[in-house]
Amino acid sequence: MTWLDHRTGIETAIRSFLYEDIPASSGWHQVFGSIAVFLFLVQAFTGALLAFNYAPTPGDAYNSLHYILTEVTGGRLIRGLHHWGASMLIVVVVLHMTQVFLYGAYKKPREATWMAGVVLLLLTMAYGLTGYLLPWDNRAYWGTVVSTQIAARIPLAGPYLSRLLGGGNAVGVVTFARFYGLHVLLLPPATGLLIATHIYLVRKHGVAPAPGDESRPPKKFYPQQAFKDTVAIFAAFMVLFIMAVAVRVPLERLADPTDTTYVPRPDWYFLFLYQTLKLFNGPLEVVGSVILPGLAVLTLLLVPFLDRGPVMRVTRRVAAFGVVALAVLGWTGLTVAAVSSTPQPQNAVTVDSSAPTDWMGLSPQELAGIGYFREEHCASCHTIDAKPGTSSGPGPDLANLRTRKSAAWMIAHFKHPAAMVPGTSMPSILLTDAQLDTLAAFLLELTPRNAKALAGAPDFAVTGAMLYQSSNCGACHKVNGVGMAVGPPLNGLARRHDRTWVAKHFSDPAAVTPGSIMPPYHFSSRQMDDMIAYLFSLPD
Amino acid sequence: MPVTNQGSTANGITRRKFYVSAIYGLWGLMAAMLGVPAAIYLLLPPKLRGTPEWVEAGDISSLEPREPVEMVFRENRVDGWKIFSEKASAWVVKLADSRIVAYGPQCTHLGCAYHWDESRKYFLCPCHLSIFGIDGHVISGPAPRPLDRFETKVVDGKLMLGPLHKSEEKS
């Protein structure tokens, strides 16, 4: 160690960094800055990992992210960490600012430290804005359409800004490349540099003392305060880790610029801005899009010059608490208003594309077969693509059959198992011929490749498909290329009609579409929900 | 507190020890919680998408014994998040016992494309002059092992190729 220190001075540097004098009043309230730095590093780390498996072009971005989520081991966790880490970073940066604000730690001579911090907050938000586009799903695409439109409407600078963001008229390859470039090439070094400056300034002026500290001897940062920082960082990391594991980050459908039904919405921390924008219409729009946010940023930057009074005990800074309370109220109010006033997209069926969605490509018959497979509890004796060596039930693994049987063989086998396989302990399945046919159709589709994905088909789709089969819809309609072409094909139905229309059409087709020869169907409301959700989840 | 001076020093030392070990412990734990998933993410192969499919290489009815033919066919190759349909080839030989073998088209030395030398009746790799016999074994040159072989089966007179198996290295 001494050898290294003589040559590099690293030990001395670490020592002098850790054994910094801090005021006697320092404690738990000052941990947020450290958490923010830590979270930034987690973002950089997980971001680099994601970049290793990510293709930053609109053509490939979605597929590569889908690959990360469904095929790369641990990919879902890494993406979860990056996604929730971004949200957490915003929260922690704001908490850090709030603490500094409440304690008046921005006062002379620490104005520059504060201002660097404000710029860091803006940078954090810029990450959020640019990163939002990168999954290139519908959410990303439409969210970015809105944000680039806002930028384009800024008086004077708008057109230039719009051109800079690559959005002539539409969000496309150029915008994508610019956002990606900003997100991974420009912002990280800028943030790193500014964090270094920020910390340098903190060191230069020392941690802000509270009144009364002048009469007490200072403490050392290490180990007591370092311990507190570590515990706080650990707690934050635990929350992040648990969220990354437990809370699924959605991946919606691939971005579709022609989807007219999509209701775009920014990420939660931008909702208040989004709502502010709604309060101003027409020529006043610029107030909501530029003037108010601009004033807010300016005020934030100038806080140290607006409040130049002497440092006071935090408990006596009533006005500061008032400002924070107002800000929290305002932010919460706007966010709640934004959430409640945004209509839930009518036609959206929440299909989690971050899991394999092979089931979407099945014909209704094959998909309905999953339902009978579940209803008849086939899984209590048969596994589907179990790992070799794990104990399987009495029946063979259905995804790894040594010989493929025909549907006719299977149906005969379902009816009288012992007649086809002497000595088998499989009971006969009591279903109608049509249902057995459906079950066989599903089993024929099973391969080790799609087994997990098929087994994971959501209930609404399976019950919807079963209803579709039992109502014999395929006699007139086509789904995924299977069925007749008497009526219109049902893929893409969600784009053509909304839920109410479809429900009405089921109960009285001729009333909605004059001349329709479709017979009326009277489904229970539960059945109707499943049926429509299934139809709306069909790939376009 | 001068009265309990000694006690507080002893306390101070144990408390300091506690702080220091907690700092090391927690940072170590966090490093592991980030490092292990990262290593898994980077090092474990992605979940296999698709069992290897049998690819039709070509007609073997016109194959003459001991006359290797380079068969060119299309196969689907999964590369990360993409599936490419691309041209691939294999050297197919009907051996003396009328067994059919298909060799992977790359030299086992450094992966150059080799070819059948009609006049000398051996496979020659032009890069470093590795020479393989018609049964794939190394005759001379730097190649460390015989030619790799595809799993094969014949369906209706068509040769189907399965996965390519690495040949055993000769010691």
pLDDT values of chain A reduced to their tens digit, one per residue, 540 residues = 789 999 999 999 999 889 999 999 999 999 999 999 999 999 999 999 999 999 999 889 999 998 999 889 999 999 999 999 999 999 999 999 999 999 999 998 999 999 999 999 999 999 999 999 999 998 899 888 888 888 887 888 888 888 888 866 678 899 999 999 999 999 999 999 999 999 999 999 999 988 888 889 999 999 999 999 999 999 999 999 999 999 888 888 788 777 777 778 788 898 888 888 888 888 888 888 888 989 999 999 999 999 888 888 888 889 999 999 999 999 999 999 988 887 665 555 666 666 667 778 888 888 888 888 888 888 778 877 766 666 567 778 787 776 777 888 888 888 888 888 888 888 888 888 888 888 888 888 777 767 766 777 888 888 888 889 888 888 889 888 888 888 888 888 877 887 888 888 888 888 888 888 888 888 888 888 888 888 888 887
Quote the CA–CA distance of A507 and A306 in Å, as a whole number: 66
Quote the CA–CA distance of A82 and A89 in Å, as a whole number: 10
User: A234–B29: do the CB atoms touch at under 8 Å?
Assistant: yes
Cis peptide before A135 (omega within 30 of 0): no
Task: Kindly indicate whether the ipTM for this predicted assembly is greater than 0.90, answering yes or no.
Answer: no
Quote the CA–CA distance of A331 and A348 in Å, as a whole number: 28
Comparing CB atoms, the residue among A64, A72, A224 nearest residue B19 is: A224
Two structure tokens written together for B63: 């194959």
* Bridge partner residues of B116 (DSSP): B123
User: B81–A233: do the CB atoms touch at under 8 Å?
Assistant: no
Cβ neighbours of A75 in B, within 8 Å: 41
- Residue A88 and residue A239 in contact, taking contact as beta carbons nearer than 8 Å: yes
pLDDT value at residue A201:
96
Residue A54 neighbours by CB under 8 Å, 6+ apart: A61, A64, A65, A68, A134
- Whether the CB of B22 is below 8 Å from some CB of chain A: the reply is yes
3-state secondary structure of B32: helix
Two structure tokens written together for B141: 């040159």
Two structure tokens written together for A76: 């879902």
Report the amino acid identity of residue A100.
V
Kindly compute the dihedral angle of the four CA atoms of residues B23, A189, A12, A215, in this order, to the nearest 10 degrees. -70
Reference A437, options A528, A365, A345; nearest CA is A365
Quote the CA–CA distance of A505 and A511 in Å, as a whole number: 8
Comparing CB atoms, the residue among A63, A223, A241 nearest residue B20 is: A223
Q: What are phi and psi of A24, to 5 degrees?
A: -60, -25
Q: What is the DSSP letter of A225?
A: I
Say what the pTM is: 0.77
Element (H, E) at B102: strand B100-103
- Whether the CB of A331 is below 8 Å from some CB of chain B: the reply is no
Report the amino acid identity of residue A264.
P
Residue among A71, A387, A447 with most chain B CBs within 10 A, to mutate: A71
Q: What angle do CA A55, A59, A62 make, to 5 degrees?
A: 65
Taking the alpha carbons of B98, B104, B106, B107 in that order, is the dihedral positive or negative? negative
Pairing of β A219-220 and β A21-22:
antiparallel
Phi-psi region of A403 (alpha: psi -120 to 50; beta: other; left: phi over 0): beta
Q: What is the DSSP letter of B171?
A: -
- CA distances A128 to A21, A144, A269, Å, are 36, 11, 9
Cβ neighbours of A449 in B, within 8 Å: 49-51
Domains of chain A: 30-211+220-250+278-341 (1.20.810.10), 358-536 (1.10.760)
Residue among B26, B81, B83, B84 with most chain A CBs within 10 A, to mutate: B81
Element (H, E) at A77: helix A75-103
Using the predicted structure, report yes or no on whether residue B171 has a pLDDT greater than 50. Answer: no
User: A60–B49: do the CB atoms touch at under 8 Å?
Assistant: no
